Amino acid sequence: MRKAMRPICTVLLLVLLLGAGAVIALAGGEPEPEGEPIPEITLFTTTESYDPIRYEAAFLIQDAWEELGFQVNVEPMEFSTLLQYFYDEQDFDATILGWSGRVDRLDPQHFLGTLHGGQTDLGANNPGGYENPEYDALFTQQEREFDPDARREIVLQMQEIAASDAPLDVLFYRDEVVGYNDERFENFVAMAGEAIYNEWTPYEVTPLGDDLTLTIGTSQEPDTINPLDSTSVWGWKFMRMYYDKLVRLTPEIEPDPWAAEEIIEVDDRTVDVIIRDGMEFHDGEPVTVEDIKFSFDYFIENDFAYFRPFFGPIDEVEIIDSSTVRFHLEEPYSPFITVTLSQIVILPEHIWSEIDNPSDLAPDEIPTVGSGPFQFETYDRGEYKALSVFEEHFSAGDIAIDGIDYITYADSEGVFTGLVTGEIDMTAWRMEPGQISIAEDEDHISVVTVGDFGYYHLTYNLRREPFNDREVRRALAHAIDRETIIDVLLEGRGEPGYSVIAPINSFWHNPDVERFDFNLDRAREILEDAGYTWDAQGRIYAPQS
């Protein structure tokens, strides 16, 4: 009898010494993890109609992350709502979005700034909240370096730091493939990153018939046409046609004095701008140096976070005389002419000075008076926008069209149908892979393909668990199958992403940064080494604190 009781006593003693988990182990099962389960992750993406590539990519990522034990909920949403959650509220776990390859962004300043610790507040360009003091110090160093080769070395180092920390995943760089009706217009301007939907096409395009209105089809809607509140490229691609800037960047990415007659670099902290004589706003009021000073001061005073990287270096704007404005910079800033002067728009002081809280304007209260070569005509949200040539503009004599109509479609299929049927003259958005071969077979459509220096990204909210853990981010990067996204979803029209500076921007791009190839075994190994565990159902648990 006593011999029969000995195994039972032994088990009871082990329970007392090791805890109940030992019984599970003795029975052949796995002990329950001691930490807390990782909460469900919500992955925001666009709707399928807006962008089927991002939509489908989200579900591929969901499947891989769930294999690692994470619970993932994919939540598609309308684009402007997505931007609001991402930028204005920073209320997200992880989000798939994209940075477009706007021409000024060939200078690395913008893309590097999207990871700067000074741009983490609401509405700014670093919604994920990444902060790295070493990175931030190098960011300041590179923007004050005027020697391109020396600046390049700093930029390469910054890319290495960012890639290693993985605050976001650069998913892919996608080819820009667009089309236009070559029976109605010619001389479209193609630019890397922007294809033919750029600010030079309306100046150069030539009608082949009597219809002088260029009609553009788009499925994208401006988030707003308030220049003090828009954080979307689709807002600015529209507004930049009726607002002027001191500088426009040419298709060769050279600064072209625009509202500025001449730009004089007095020293490395002082720049004089002589404005063009005789310019008018669309309401007939003259453009003066007071308007120039007011515009920059107004952006600064209202602290429009999206544009803070551009006006941030300015210490003071001073009027020297009736034609000269002097910019005093706090520190030397090498991209000042190509970036700042090409991005801050000129506002009419006589209108905007009466507005104390510009971000609170209702849609029907937003002024639309600029001084650009085109003037605002109408905007019916979700339907139609229109601009007409401003005949008093100094460039009007070089423009062969009389205006631009924008037709908004529900999705990219609608845009493509409009191109095929002749309802529109060009697309503002790239064609989907399945549409390209069809367009190439149409006699009246020319297809244009250019590389992109923008990129699609999956950004983590580093203020939230588990994304505040660098090792989790690095593991999740190994659980993104970029090759399948490109080969299957994009049908080969793109490149895997790994740096915020794209390969097409070869001078500034670092091809040697750390890359995270798709490898679920390696992802799991990183998580195990960091102390993460799994329960019997395969759900992942955080290390015990």
Tokens of 71: 């619970």
Mean pLDDT along residues 54-79: 97
* Residues 316 and 271 sit within 8 Å (Cβ to Cβ): no
- pLDDT (0 to 100) of residue 216: 97
Q: Which residue has the higher pLDDT, 18 or 177?
A: 177
Residue indicated by tokens 């477009």: 100
- pLDDT (0 to 100) of residue 36: 92
Among 152, 128, 131, 130, which residue's Cα sits nearest to residue 141? Answer: 152
Query: Mind listing the pLDDT tens digit for each residue in 13-63?
Result: 333 333 444 334 434 455 678 889 999 999 999 999 889 999 999 999 999
Tokens of 289: 């140096």
Kindly provide the b/e burial profile for residues 38-47, where b requires at least 16 CB atoms within 10 angstroms of the residue's own CB.
beebebbbbb
| Integer Cα distance of 124 and 271 in angstroms | 26
Give the chain's count of helices (H) and strands (E): 17, 23
Q: Kindly give the pairing relationship between strand 41-46 and strand 72-77.
A: parallel
Query: Mind listing the pLDDT tens digit for each residue in 336-387?
Result: 999 999 999 999 999 999 999 998 999 999 999 999 999 999 999 989 999 9
Residue 51 makes CB contacts below 8 A (sequence gap 6+) with 412
- pLDDT (0 to 100) of residue 1: 35
DSSP at 287:
P
CA dihedral of residues 187, 191, 194, 196 (deg, nearest 10): 10
Q: Kindly give the pairing relationship between strand 41-46 and strand 94-99.
A: parallel
| Integer Cα distance of 527 and 545 in angstroms | 15
Among 284, 285, 262, 265, which residue's Cα sits nearest to residue 275? Answer: 262
Strand intervals (E) in 355-454: 374-380, 384-389, 403-408, 426-427, 445-450
| Integer Cα distance of 26 and 15 in angstroms | 10
Bridge partner list, 270: 267, 328
**Structural domains in the chain?**
1-29 (no CATH), 41-174+453-541 (3.10.105), 177-219+373-450 (3.40.190.10), 233-360 (3.90.76.10)
What is the SS3 assignment for 245? strand
| Integer Cα distance of 88 and 193 in angstroms | 26
* Position 5 pLDDT exceeds 50: no
Q: What percent of the chain has pLDDT over 90?
A: 82
User: What is the residue-averaged pLDDT of the chain?
Assistant: 92
Confidence band of 104 (pLDDT split at 50, 70, 90): confident
- pLDDT (0 to 100) of residue 22: 39
Query: Mind listing the pLDDT tens digit for each residue in 116-137?
Result: 999 999 989 999 999 999 999 9
Side chain identity at residue 116, one-letter code: H
Q: How far is CA 279 from CA 258, 283, 292, 316, 318, in A?
A: 11, 12, 12, 24, 20
Dihedrals phi, psi of 458, to nearest 5 degrees: -110, 110
Residue 7 makes CB contacts below 8 A (sequence gap 6+) with none
Among 130, 105, 108, 134, which residue's Cα sits nearest to residue 119? Answer: 130
Q: Which residue has the higher pLDDT, 115 or 49?
A: 115
| Integer Cα distance of 393 and 247 in angstroms | 15
- pLDDT (0 to 100) of residue 29: 53
DSSP class per residue in 9-65: HHHHHHHHHH-THHHHHHTT-PPPPSSPBPPPEEEEEE-TTT-HHHHHHHHHHHHHH
Dihedrals phi, psi of 257, to nearest 5 degrees: -55, 130
* Position 4 pLDDT exceeds 70: no
| Integer Cα distance of 271 and 376 in angstroms | 31
C-beta atoms surrounding 519 within 10 Å: 15
